[in-house]
Amino acid sequence: METQEFASGETWRVFRIMSEFVEGFETLKDLGPAITIFGSARTKRDDGSYKTTLKVAEMLARRGFAIISGGGPGIMEAANRGARMGRGVSVGLNIHLPAEQKPNRYQDKSLIFRHFFARKVMFVKYASGYVIMPGGVGTLDEFFESLTLIQTGKIRRFPVVLMGRKYWEGLIRWMEHTLVEEGTISPDDLNLFYLTDRPQDAVEYIVKFHRDMIPPAGERRKKSPLPPLESHNE
Protein backbone atom coordinates (compact mmCIF):
# COMPACT_ATOMS: atom_id res chain seq x y z
CA MET A 1 0.00 0.00 0.00
CA GLU A 2 2.81 2.43 0.93
CA THR A 3 4.54 1.72 -2.38
CA GLN A 4 1.34 2.45 -4.31
CA GLU A 5 0.81 5.73 -2.43
CA PHE A 6 4.41 6.75 -3.12
CA ALA A 7 4.06 5.93 -6.83
CA SER A 8 0.80 7.90 -7.02
CA GLY A 9 2.43 10.90 -5.32
CA GLU A 10 5.37 10.82 -7.71
CA THR A 11 3.02 10.67 -10.70
CA TRP A 12 1.19 13.81 -9.59
CA ARG A 13 4.54 15.49 -8.97
CA VAL A 14 5.32 15.00 -12.67
CA PHE A 15 2.19 16.98 -13.54
CA ARG A 16 3.18 19.78 -11.15
CA ILE A 17 6.59 19.94 -12.84
CA MET A 18 4.95 20.01 -16.27
CA SER A 19 2.70 22.87 -15.14
CA GLU A 20 5.75 24.96 -14.25
CA PHE A 21 7.22 24.45 -17.70
CA VAL A 22 3.92 25.21 -19.43
CA GLU A 23 3.36 28.40 -17.43
CA GLY A 24 6.92 29.52 -18.08
CA PHE A 25 6.75 28.86 -21.82
CA GLU A 26 3.37 30.60 -22.15
CA THR A 27 4.45 33.66 -20.15
CA LEU A 28 7.81 34.18 -21.86
CA LYS A 29 7.16 32.98 -25.42
CA ASP A 30 6.89 36.53 -26.83
CA LEU A 31 9.62 38.07 -24.68
CA GLY A 32 12.10 38.81 -27.48
CA PRO A 33 15.86 39.20 -26.93
CA ALA A 34 16.70 39.12 -23.24
CA ILE A 35 19.73 39.14 -20.96
CA THR A 36 19.74 37.15 -17.73
CA ILE A 37 21.59 38.79 -14.84
CA PHE A 38 22.81 36.71 -11.88
CA GLY A 39 24.33 37.76 -8.57
CA SER A 40 24.03 37.66 -4.81
CA ALA A 41 20.70 38.13 -3.05
CA ARG A 42 22.67 39.54 -0.10
CA THR A 43 24.04 42.59 -1.91
CA LYS A 44 22.93 45.86 -0.28
CA ARG A 45 21.60 48.87 -2.17
CA ASP A 46 24.63 51.01 -1.28
CA ASP A 47 27.07 48.36 -2.58
CA GLY A 48 29.09 49.09 -5.72
CA SER A 49 27.89 45.85 -7.35
CA TYR A 50 24.25 46.90 -6.89
CA LYS A 51 24.93 50.25 -8.55
CA THR A 52 26.85 48.60 -11.39
CA THR A 53 23.98 46.18 -11.97
CA LEU A 54 21.52 49.08 -12.15
CA LYS A 55 23.63 50.70 -14.84
CA VAL A 56 24.21 47.52 -16.87
CA ALA A 57 20.52 46.60 -16.80
CA GLU A 58 19.42 50.12 -17.72
CA MET A 59 21.85 50.31 -20.65
CA LEU A 60 20.85 46.88 -21.95
CA ALA A 61 17.16 47.78 -21.65
CA ARG A 62 17.76 50.93 -23.68
CA ARG A 63 19.39 48.74 -26.33
CA GLY A 64 16.16 46.75 -26.65
CA PHE A 65 16.87 43.78 -24.37
CA ALA A 66 14.46 42.50 -21.76
CA ILE A 67 16.12 41.78 -18.40
CA ILE A 68 15.61 38.49 -16.54
CA SER A 69 16.58 37.95 -12.90
CA GLY A 70 15.79 35.54 -10.11
CA GLY A 71 13.18 37.99 -8.84
CA GLY A 72 14.50 38.40 -5.30
CA PRO A 73 16.51 41.05 -3.45
CA GLY A 74 20.12 42.21 -3.92
CA ILE A 75 21.53 41.95 -7.42
CA MET A 76 18.23 40.51 -8.64
CA GLU A 77 16.39 43.61 -7.48
CA ALA A 78 19.00 45.86 -9.09
CA ALA A 79 18.61 44.02 -12.41
CA ASN A 80 14.82 44.41 -12.45
CA ARG A 81 15.01 47.99 -11.22
CA GLY A 82 17.57 48.89 -13.88
CA ALA A 83 15.32 47.39 -16.55
CA ARG A 84 12.52 49.67 -15.40
CA MET A 85 14.88 52.66 -15.47
CA GLY A 86 15.76 51.78 -19.06
CA ARG A 87 12.08 51.38 -19.99
CA GLY A 88 12.63 47.73 -20.82
CA VAL A 89 10.70 44.60 -19.89
CA SER A 90 11.61 43.37 -16.41
CA VAL A 91 11.20 39.63 -15.70
CA GLY A 92 11.53 37.88 -12.35
CA LEU A 93 11.77 34.10 -12.05
CA ASN A 94 11.13 33.62 -8.35
CA ILE A 95 11.64 30.44 -6.33
CA HIS A 96 10.03 28.94 -3.22
CA LEU A 97 12.76 28.52 -0.59
CA PRO A 98 12.75 27.31 3.05
CA ALA A 99 13.72 30.86 4.02
CA GLU A 100 11.04 32.51 1.90
CA GLN A 101 12.40 34.68 -0.91
CA LYS A 102 10.42 37.91 -1.11
CA PRO A 103 9.86 39.02 -4.75
CA ASN A 104 11.16 42.49 -5.48
CA ARG A 105 8.69 45.15 -6.68
CA TYR A 106 10.32 45.92 -10.03
CA GLN A 107 8.94 42.99 -12.07
CA ASP A 108 6.66 43.36 -15.09
CA LYS A 109 6.44 39.60 -15.63
CA SER A 110 6.71 37.43 -12.54
CA LEU A 111 6.76 33.64 -12.22
CA ILE A 112 7.16 31.55 -9.08
CA PHE A 113 8.81 28.14 -9.31
CA ARG A 114 8.97 25.29 -6.83
CA HIS A 115 11.65 23.37 -8.73
CA PHE A 116 15.09 24.82 -9.38
CA PHE A 117 15.59 22.83 -12.58
CA ALA A 118 12.44 24.21 -14.23
CA ARG A 119 13.51 27.74 -13.30
CA LYS A 120 17.03 27.14 -14.65
CA VAL A 121 15.59 26.08 -18.01
CA MET A 122 13.77 29.42 -18.27
CA PHE A 123 16.93 31.36 -17.41
CA VAL A 124 18.84 29.86 -20.32
CA LYS A 125 16.05 29.20 -22.84
CA TYR A 126 15.03 32.85 -23.12
CA ALA A 127 18.49 34.40 -22.74
CA SER A 128 20.50 36.07 -25.48
CA GLY A 129 23.34 36.38 -22.99
CA TYR A 130 24.32 36.20 -19.33
CA VAL A 131 25.77 38.90 -17.09
CA ILE A 132 27.30 37.39 -13.96
CA MET A 133 27.72 39.80 -11.06
CA PRO A 134 29.51 38.92 -7.79
CA GLY A 135 27.56 36.19 -6.04
CA GLY A 136 27.68 32.96 -4.11
CA VAL A 137 27.12 29.27 -4.76
CA GLY A 138 23.99 29.77 -6.87
CA THR A 139 25.74 32.34 -9.05
CA LEU A 140 28.73 30.05 -9.53
CA ASP A 141 26.34 27.23 -10.43
CA GLU A 142 24.73 29.31 -13.19
CA PHE A 143 28.11 30.49 -14.50
CA PHE A 144 29.62 27.02 -14.80
CA GLU A 145 26.41 25.50 -16.12
CA SER A 146 26.34 28.07 -18.94
CA LEU A 147 29.94 27.20 -19.86
CA THR A 148 29.10 23.48 -19.78
CA LEU A 149 26.06 23.87 -22.04
CA ILE A 150 28.00 26.00 -24.53
CA GLN A 151 31.11 23.79 -24.42
CA THR A 152 29.10 20.63 -25.09
CA GLY A 153 26.98 22.21 -27.81
CA LYS A 154 23.71 21.72 -25.94
CA ILE A 155 22.82 25.38 -26.47
CA ARG A 156 23.89 27.91 -29.05
CA ARG A 157 26.82 30.01 -27.94
CA PHE A 158 25.87 33.35 -26.41
CA PRO A 159 27.88 36.03 -24.57
CA VAL A 160 28.72 35.34 -20.93
CA VAL A 161 30.05 38.41 -19.11
CA LEU A 162 31.68 38.38 -15.68
CA MET A 163 31.44 41.78 -14.00
CA GLY A 164 34.08 42.71 -11.40
CA ARG A 165 37.75 41.90 -11.95
CA LYS A 166 38.68 42.00 -8.26
CA TYR A 167 35.95 39.51 -7.42
CA TRP A 168 36.50 37.04 -10.27
CA GLU A 169 40.24 37.15 -11.06
CA GLY A 170 41.16 34.63 -8.34
CA LEU A 171 38.73 32.09 -9.80
CA ILE A 172 40.01 32.69 -13.33
CA ARG A 173 43.64 32.26 -12.21
CA TRP A 174 42.67 28.95 -10.59
CA MET A 175 41.01 27.86 -13.84
CA GLU A 176 44.14 28.82 -15.79
CA HIS A 177 46.71 27.31 -13.44
CA THR A 178 44.80 24.25 -12.28
CA LEU A 179 42.11 23.22 -14.76
CA VAL A 180 44.05 24.08 -17.92
CA GLU A 181 47.38 22.77 -16.61
CA GLU A 182 45.74 19.54 -15.43
CA GLY A 183 44.11 19.17 -18.84
CA THR A 184 40.56 19.04 -17.49
CA ILE A 185 39.59 21.98 -19.72
CA SER A 186 41.24 23.37 -22.83
CA PRO A 187 42.78 26.87 -23.06
CA ASP A 188 40.05 27.80 -25.56
CA ASP A 189 37.40 27.24 -22.90
CA LEU A 190 38.63 30.41 -21.20
CA ASN A 191 37.37 32.31 -24.25
CA LEU A 192 33.77 31.31 -23.53
CA PHE A 193 33.39 34.27 -21.16
CA TYR A 194 34.43 37.92 -20.98
CA LEU A 195 35.67 39.77 -17.87
CA THR A 196 35.23 43.51 -17.34
CA ASP A 197 34.56 46.20 -14.76
CA ARG A 198 32.83 48.68 -17.07
CA PRO A 199 29.09 48.54 -17.86
CA GLN A 200 29.76 50.11 -21.26
CA ASP A 201 32.23 47.35 -22.15
CA ALA A 202 29.76 44.66 -21.09
CA VAL A 203 27.00 46.12 -23.25
CA GLU A 204 29.31 46.65 -26.24
CA TYR A 205 30.54 43.06 -25.98
CA ILE A 206 26.99 41.66 -25.91
CA VAL A 207 25.72 43.80 -28.80
CA LYS A 208 28.83 43.19 -30.94
CA PHE A 209 28.65 39.45 -30.26
CA HIS A 210 25.17 39.26 -31.76
CA ARG A 211 26.10 41.44 -34.73
CA ASP A 212 29.12 39.29 -35.54
CA MET A 213 27.50 35.92 -34.85
CA ILE A 214 28.20 33.43 -37.62
CA PRO A 215 24.95 32.04 -39.09
CA PRO A 216 24.48 28.27 -38.76
CA ALA A 217 24.49 25.87 -41.72
CA GLY A 218 25.37 28.58 -44.23
CA GLU A 219 22.16 30.49 -43.66
CA ARG A 220 22.42 34.21 -44.30
CA ARG A 221 21.71 36.12 -41.11
CA LYS A 222 19.67 39.30 -41.37
CA LYS A 223 21.35 42.50 -40.37
CA SER A 224 20.92 43.17 -36.65
CA PRO A 225 18.12 45.64 -35.90
CA LEU A 226 20.09 47.02 -32.97
CA PRO A 227 21.35 50.57 -33.69
CA PRO A 228 24.90 51.64 -32.80
CA LEU A 229 25.70 52.01 -29.12
CA GLU A 230 25.43 55.50 -27.73
CA SER A 231 28.37 56.76 -25.73
CA HIS A 232 27.91 56.89 -21.97
CA ASN A 233 30.22 58.70 -19.59
CA GLU A 234 31.57 56.43 -16.88
Closest CA to 207 of 231, 234, 225: 225
- Cα–Cα distance for residue pair 50/133, rounded to 1 Å: 9
Please state the pTM of the whole predicted model. Answer: 0.85
Closest CA to 178 of 161, 166, 190, 167: 190
> Which uninterrupted H or E stretch holds 179?
none
List the domain boundaries for the chain. Answer: 13-207
Helices (H), the chain: 2-28, 48-62, 75-85, 116-125, 137-151, 165-174, 181-182, 199-212
The secondary structure of 10-50, three-state, reads HHHHHHHHHHHHHHHHHHHCCCCCEEEEECCCCCCCCCHHH
Q: Which residues have C-beta within 8 Å of that of residue 146, sequence separation ≥ 6?
A: 124, 130, 160
Degrees to nearest 5, angle at CA 104 with 205 and 115:
85
The DSSP H or E segment spanning 227 is none
Q: Each residue's pLDDT tens digit in the chain (234 positions)?
A: 445 544 557 788 888 999 999 999 999 999 999 999 999 999 999 999 999 999 999 999 999 999 999 999 999 999 999 999 999 999 999 998 876 568 899 999 999 999 999 999 999 999 999 999 999 999 999 999 999 999 999 999 999 999 999 999 999 999 999 999 999 999 999 999 999 999 999 999 999 998 876 444 333 334 444 444 333 333
Q: Which amino acid is at 23?
A: E
Judged by phi (left if over 0) then psi (alpha if -120 to 50, else beta), residue 164 lies in left
Task: Round to whole Å and give the CA distance between 45 and 32.
Answer: 29
The set of residues, in sequence order, having a beta carbon less than 8 Å from that of 194 and lying 6+ positions away, is: 159, 160, 161, 162, 202, 205
CATH topology of domain 13-207: Rossmann fold (3.40.50)
Interatomic CA distance for residues 158 and 43, integer angstroms:
26
CA distance 14 to 178: 41
